[in-house]
């Protein structure tokens, strides 16, 4: 087992305990979060009310009148040691295809309304992201964004919004700052970017991530009318591996019509993800992952 950073524990008032596995984002930190929260879920102590995994940290909401804080803390520390670096963890998950209309009219209209809150008001968000990440054109940037798989490292902010971490070595990861001041509006199903994370806004609302495009795929359906939501109103789960597929306007409109008719399905395929196989040969492993959904 390799050396891992010791987790940092902090009380969040009388009902929460917050645990930071690492200050920096990495797939390894996220894997440790997933392993610990899964083990806690599998043998959930009485009084544990919510178990919320995040990117490089997690939190537990509990009732201190049922489980004393010190007892829960000991339990979480034990799990931290049991899980170790999670290097050998194999995760049963799925590859998910998200069609994206990059540079669509709706997010473009939105970002133009909020230029005064942006680092570079004279360009669009995707032009800015392409330039600061060293891509010579937006086309090349889109090829990079859609050319590697993404690992869903957290679901939240608002209902069902996935945070996705690019599965490439750190020196090739896209990094884009958030808006200088958050927008008060973002279209539903916008594909955005902030820090090292891609996200899909599940509902319309405020946001600070850069706007790249839009997907016709609903990812949150509180009415549960679409077939993908028959069991639960939220589509994404931590651990989902996402592939963004660029589409044109015609294809976008066709998918949208399917969604309105209630026939649209997000394409998925089950896979088992192995962290150490990925880390040994990221490009080869990714190529195989992307082939899962031809």
H or E element at residue 107: helix 105-113
Asked if residue 76 binds other proteins (CB under 8 A), the reply is no
Asked if residue 169 binds other proteins (CB under 8 A), the reply is no
Q: What is the DSSP letter of 25?
A: -
Task: Choose the stretch contacting other proteins; rule: CB under 8 A; options: 46-54, 93-101, 256-264, 271-279.
Answer: 46-54
Q: Which residues are CB-contacts of 224 (< 8 A; sequence separation ≥ 6)?
A: 230, 232, 233
51 has which bridge partners?
60
Rounded to a whole number of angstroms, the minimum distance from the CB of residue 177 to other proteins is: 6
Find tokens 């993800």 and name the residue.
273
Asked if residue 10 binds other proteins (CB under 8 A), the reply is yes
Asked if residue 282 binds other proteins (CB under 8 A), the reply is no
> What b-and-e string marks burial along 182-199, b requiring 16 or more CB atoms within 10 Å of the CB?
ebeebbbbbbbbbebbbb
Report the residue number, 24 or 137, with the smaller CB distance to other proteins: 24
- How many helices (H) and strands (E) are present in the chain, helices listed first? 8, 12
Report the residue number, 13 or 294, with the smaller CB distance to other proteins: 13
Asked if residue 105 binds other proteins (CB under 8 A), the reply is no
Euclidean distance between the first and final Cα of the chain, in Å? 36
Asked if residue 234 binds other proteins (CB under 8 A), the reply is yes
Binding site for other proteins (CB under 8 A): 10-16, 18, 20, 23-26, 49-59, 61, 64-65, 69, 154-161, 163, 170, 177-178, 194-197, 202-203, 205, 220, 222, 233-234, 236
């Amino acid at each position: 087992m390799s050396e891992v950073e010791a987790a940092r524990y902090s009380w969040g008032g009388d009902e929460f305990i917050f645990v930071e596995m690492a200050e920096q984002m990495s797939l390894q930190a996220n894997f440790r979060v997933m392993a610990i929260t899964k083990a806690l879920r599998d043998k959930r102590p009485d009084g544990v009310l919510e178990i919320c995994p995040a990117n490089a940290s997690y939190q537990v909401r509990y009732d201190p009148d049922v489980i004393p804080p010190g007892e829960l803390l000991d339990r979480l520390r034990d799990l931290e040691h049991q899980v170790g670096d999670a290097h050998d963890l194999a995760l049963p998950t799925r590859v998910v295809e998200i069609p994206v209309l990059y540079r669509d009219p709706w997010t473009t209209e939105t970002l133009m309304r909020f230029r005064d809150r942006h680092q570079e008001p004279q360009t669009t968000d995707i032009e800015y992201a392409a330039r600061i990440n060293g891509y010579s054109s937006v086309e090349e940037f889109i090829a990079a964004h859609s050319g590697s798989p993404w690992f869903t490292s957290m679901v939240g902010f608002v209902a069902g919004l996935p945070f996705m971490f690019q599965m490439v070595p750190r020196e090739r990861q896209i990094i884009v700052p958030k808006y200088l001041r958050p927008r008060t509006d973002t279209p539903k199903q916008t594909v955005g970017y902030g820090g090292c994370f891609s996200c899909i806004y599940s509902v319309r609302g405020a946001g600070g991530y850069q706007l790249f495009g839009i997907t016709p795929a609903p990812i949150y359906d509180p009415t549960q009318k679409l077939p993908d939501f028959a069991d639960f109103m939220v589509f994404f789960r931590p651990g989902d591996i996402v592939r963004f597929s660029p589409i044109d306007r015609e294809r976008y409109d066709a998918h949208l019509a399917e969604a309105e008719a209630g026939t649209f399905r997000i394409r998925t395929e089950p896979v088992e993800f192995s962290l150490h196989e990925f880390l040994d040969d990221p490009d080869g492993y990714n190529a195989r992952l992307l082939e899962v959904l031809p």
